[in-house]
């Protein structure tokens, strides 16, 4: 089994799945004013997972890695995230939003795969 999205902070790499692993849900739209703090939420139904990732895709561009987290909050520039393992969710915060922040944001989950042989 492999995650749908690449687990490294490199460009997204889709993989084939042998089975349904789970689903990820995000808000379809959020609105913010320049200079505001934007908060994006992502929920999933995967019980065992390693990490959560956030990517951004600007118009006519390829998706780009932003940040990922395992158990705790992490930050990178104006972006910060937290991971709620029990609640199976993550929030991405963008501080001091800019016009250039208008884009499509994706969250991804890297599931923990176990197999019985």
Band of residue 112 on the pLDDT scale cut at 50, 70, 90: low
Is the pLDDT assigned to residue 10 strictly greater than 60?
A: no
Name which of 54-58, 71-75, 81-85, 96-100 the model is least confident about. 71-75
Is the pLDDT assigned to residue 90 strictly greater than 60?
A: yes
Domain for residue 85, yes or no? Answer: yes
Q: How many H helices and E strands in the chain?
A: 0, 8
Is the pLDDT assigned to residue 94 strictly greater than 60?
A: yes
Residue range 12-67, pLDDT digits in tens: 433 333 444 567 667 767 888 899 999 988 887 777 777 788 899 999 999 999 99
Domain for residue 1, yes or no? Answer: no
Work out how many domains the chain is built from and give that number. Answer: 1
Domain for residue 8, yes or no? Answer: no
Domain that holds residue 94: 24-111
Residue 57 contacts by C-beta under 8 Å, 6 or more apart in sequence? 63, 64, 103, 104, 105, 106
Domain with residue 105: its CATH number is 2.60.40.10
Domain for residue 43, yes or no? Answer: yes
Is the pLDDT assigned to residue 73 strictly greater than 80?
A: no
Domain for residue 17, yes or no? Answer: no
CB-CB contact of 89 with 104 (8 Å): no
Domain for residue 15, yes or no? Answer: no
Domain for residue 13, yes or no? Answer: no
Domain for residue 5, yes or no? Answer: no
């Amino acid at each position: 089994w492999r995650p749908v999205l690449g687990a490294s902070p490199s460009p997204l790499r889709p993989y084939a799945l042998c089975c349904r692993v789970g689903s990820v849900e995000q808000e379809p739209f959020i609105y913010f004013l320049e200079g505001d703090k934007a908060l994006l939420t992502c929920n999933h139904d995967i019980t065992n997972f390693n990490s959560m990732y956030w990517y951004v895709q600007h118009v006519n561009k390829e998706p780009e890695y932003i940040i990922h987290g395992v158990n705790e909050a992490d930050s990178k520039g104006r972006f910060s995230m937290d991971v709620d393992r029990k609640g199976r969710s993550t929030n991405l915060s963008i501080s001091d939003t800019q016009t250039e922040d208008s884009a499509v944001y994706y969250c991804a989950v890297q599931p923990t795969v176990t197999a019985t042989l």
